[in-house]
């Protein structure tokens, strides 16, 4: 039987790597976790060795070792879709076609609309190249969180159960929990988003989510 080994390059506080950790936990997948420190020495993601693995110099990267081949995937949503098809146990998407599209839309709202505007490289550019002060940088961060969370809150009113969509964890929850973690880290008032808070709190009662929390990672500092 063909053996597959997974290696996940990530960073404890990376939202995108956090997503992949949750998915792997939900699917009971083992992987070797390799830390890429995003701040130390200017960021290890910019080293020649890592850049040869991931041309965007971002985390996560998933390396799949199989049949003497080493395949590399980047971008967390692509990795999540791959894992869901390669390991169909504990599916991350509903069964019905329309429902799948709704879940993907929720996930993309976070991963494609909100997160890119407040990830590390954007905040570093604001502070460094544009000389934006910390107060203004936080206002930028909060603005985009509020826009995204306000829209998502309305979607959860319509579609959520105990999770973002119904009563099973999906791609939407996998994207939501890391974004809420970041929102709280940057002191966003979450009181306008009761459904987001409720779903997030429920997710964080489950081992798959608890074990993926940044502070529970080996490279957490």
Question: In CATH, what number is assigned to the domain containing residue 103?
Answer: 1.20.1050.10
Distance between CA atoms of residues 138 and 189, nearest Å: 13
Whether residue 213 contacts residue 190, with contact meaning beta carbons closer than 8 Å, is answered with no
Share of the chain above pLDDT 70, in %: 99
State residue 13's pLDDT score: 95
Domain that residue 45 falls in: 8-90
Interatomic CA distance for residues 115 and 135, integer angstroms: 19
Backbone angles phi, psi at 181, to 5 degrees: -55, -45
Q: Looking at the structure, do residues 188 and 103 belong to the same domain, yes or no? A: yes
3-state SS, the chain, equals CCCEEEEEEECCCCHHHHHHHHHHHHCCCCCEEEECCCCHHHCHHHCHHHHCCCCCCCCCEEEEEECCEEEEEECHHHHHHHHHHHCCCCCCCCCCHHHHHHHHHHHHHHHHHHHHHCCHHHHHHHHHCCCCCHHHHHHHHHHHHHHHHHHHHHHHHHHECCCCCECCCCHHHHHHHHHHHHHHHCCCCCCCCHHHHHHHHHHCCCHHHHCCCHHHCCCCC
Residue 218 domain flag: no
The two beta strands, 69-74 and 4-10, are unpaired
129: Cβ contacts below 8 Å, ≥ 6 apart: none
| pLDDT-based confidence at residue 2 (cuts at 50, 70, 90) | low
Identify whether 24 is part of a domain: yes
Residue 3 pLDDT greater than 90, yes or no: no
Q: Are residues 116 and 61 in the same domain?
A: no
Provide the number of structural domains found in the chain. 2
Inside any domain, residue 220: no
CATH number at residue 24: 3.40.30.10
pLDDT tens for each residue of 31-66? 999 999 999 999 999 999 999 999 999 999 999 998
**Mean pLDDT of the region 194-200:** 98
Structure tokens at 32: 């070797």
User: 142-182 pLDDT, tens per residue?
Assistant: 999 999 999 999 999 999 999 999 999 999 999 999 999 99
Say if residue 1's pLDDT is above 50. Answer: no
Q: Are 109 and 191 in a shared domain?
A: yes
């Amino acid at each position: 039987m063909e053996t597959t080994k997974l290696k996940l390059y990530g960073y404890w506080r990376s939202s995108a790597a956090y997503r992949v950790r949750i998915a792997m936990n939900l699917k009971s997948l083992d992987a070797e976790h390799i830390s890429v420190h995003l701040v130390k020495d200017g960021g290890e993601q910019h080293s020649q060795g890592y850049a040869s693995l991931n041309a965007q110099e971002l985390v996560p990267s998933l390396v799949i070792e199989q049949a003497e081949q080493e395949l590399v995937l980047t971008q967390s949503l692509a990795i999540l879709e791959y894992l869901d098809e390669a390991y169909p146990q504990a599916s991350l998407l509903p069964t019905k076609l329309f429902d799948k599209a709704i879940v993907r839309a929720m996930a993309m709202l976070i991963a494609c609309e909100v997160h890119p505007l407040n990830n590390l490289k954007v905040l570093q550019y604001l502070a460094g190249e544009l000389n934006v002060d910390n107060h203004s940088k936080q206002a930028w961060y909060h603005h985009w969180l509020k826009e995204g969370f306000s829209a998502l809150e309305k979607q959860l009113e319509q579609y959520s159960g105990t999770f973002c969509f119904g009563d099973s964890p999906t791609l939407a929850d996998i994207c939501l929990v890391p974004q809420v973690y970041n929102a709280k880290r940057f002191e966003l008032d979450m009181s306008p988003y009761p459904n987001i808070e409720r779903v997030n709190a429920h997710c964080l009662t489950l081992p798959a989510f608890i074990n993926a929390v940044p502070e529970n990672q080996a490279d957490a500092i």
